[in-house]
Chains A and B, each alone.
Chain A
C-alpha cells in the first residue's frame, strides 16, 4: 500500500462537454444555412425590445426564429410571438445562463433548414453566460445608456467574448448625459477593435444599420470559431 500521492498530468477543459456540443450545433447550423446570433446583457438592457423590433423588421427579408432564455415566466416569448416569428421560451429555473444542451433540446423539433436567422436571447446576466459557447456565429453584447459608460470595465469578460457591442436606449442618452466617447473607449479597452452599433428600439434610430448589418452577416460565408 502506497500512501504518497502522485501527480498525474491531465489536460482537460472543464467545459469540454459544452464545447463539444456547441461545436456540433455550429456544424448543424452551418449545414442548414442558418446564421445564429446570441444576445447577452444585464437584465433590463432591452434585449427583448430589440428582438421584438428586429424580428418584425427582418421578417419580410429573412426567415427568422428566436429562443429566449429566462429563469421564469414565458412573458418574453409571448411578446416576441406578436411578430409572427417562430419563438420558443427556455425556462432555466435557477440556472443563471443558457448552455449548449439547453439550446439543443429547445431546437429538437425545428427544421433548421427552414430558417435564415436564429436569435438566442440569453438570460439577463453579464457574468455567467460568458463561459458558455452556444454554437452561435455571433455574440452581441448589449448595454443601455442608462447603465453607465463604465459597464464594459466592470464586466470585461462578457465584452471580451462578444463580437459586437450594441448600445441601446439611445433616445434616453441626452436625459442621462451619456458620454458616447467614454463608452466607446471603454468597449475598445476590453475588446480592441469591436464594432459598436448605437440604436433605440423605441424610436427606431439606428435600427437600419443593425438590420442591414445582420442581413449582410447572414449572407456572408460562415465563420467558424
Chain B
C-alpha cells in the first residue's frame, strides 16, 4: 500500500500551490485518478485524512474523479474506450492497443479555497 506516500505528495504539492495565495484555506482537493495509476481510491481516501492531520489541509476533503481508460485504436484510427484494464481492446472493433491516451492520470485538477479575508 503506497497510498500514504501518494497522499503526502498531494499535500506537499497543494501546500506549494497555496503558499502563493496568502489567506487562502483549502476546503477540498479535486483529484483525477485513472485505473492505470495503480492507486486504490478507498485506500487513498483513508490515507489522505491521516496525512492531513497537523497540516494546513487538515479538515479538507479529497474529491476523486475516476478517469476511464481511453486508447488509440489503430484500426478505427481514433480514440476509443477500452473493455477493461484486463482487456485493453477497442470497444468498437476489439483490436488490442497499447497506446493509452487516458487512464493513467494521478493529478490534482482543482482546489476549493475559502478566503480568510485577504485576496486570493
Kindly list chain A residues whose C-beta atoms are within 8 Å of the C-beta of B28.
5
Q: Provide the B74-99 mask, 1 if CB < 8 A to any CB of A, else 0.
A: 00000000000111110000001110
Give the docked Cα–Cα distance between A130 and B116 (Å): 40
- The answer on a CB contact under 8 Å between A14 and B13 is yes
**Top 10 A-B pairs ranked by shortest CB distance?**
A192-B96, A128-B2, A130-B38, A157-B38, A156-B85, A12-B108, A192-B98, A5-B112, A131-B38, A5-B114
Knowing A13-B106, A15-B9, A160-B36, the reply to whether A3 touches B112 (Cβ < 8 A) is no
- The answer on a CB contact under 8 Å between B38 and A3 is no
Using a CB–CB distance below 8 Å, which chain B residues touch chain A?
A: 1-2, 5-6, 9-10, 12-13, 17, 21, 27-28, 30-31, 35-39, 85-89, 96-98, 100, 106-117, 120
Chain B CB within 10 A, most for which of A4, A9, A131, A193: A131
Which chain A residue shows the least CB distance to B16?
A12
- The answer on a CB contact under 8 Å between B1 and A192 is no
Q: Is A215 an interface residue (CB 8 A)?
A: no
Q: Is A49 an interface residue (CB 8 A)?
A: no
- The answer on a CB contact under 8 Å between A13 and B113 is no
What 6 new A-B contacts, CB under 8 Å, besides A8-B120, A156-B86, A193-B96?
Answer: A4-B114, A5-B114, A12-B108, A97-B5, A189-B88, A190-B87
Using a CB–CB distance below 8 Å, which chain A residues touch chain B?
A: 1-18, 95-97, 99, 127-128, 130-131, 153, 156-158, 160-161, 188-194
Give the docked Cα–Cα distance between A6 and B9 (Å): 23
Kindly list chain B residues whose C-beta atoms are within 8 Å of the C-beta of A5.
27-28, 112-114
Kindly list chain B residues whose C-beta atoms are within 8 Å of the C-beta of A160.
36, 85, 88, 100
Knowing A7-B112, A156-B86, A157-B85, the reply to whether A12 touches B38 (Cβ < 8 A) is no
- The answer on a CB contact under 8 Å between B107 and A12 is yes
Q: Which of A4, A7, A12, A190 contacts B17 (CB 8 A)?
A: A12
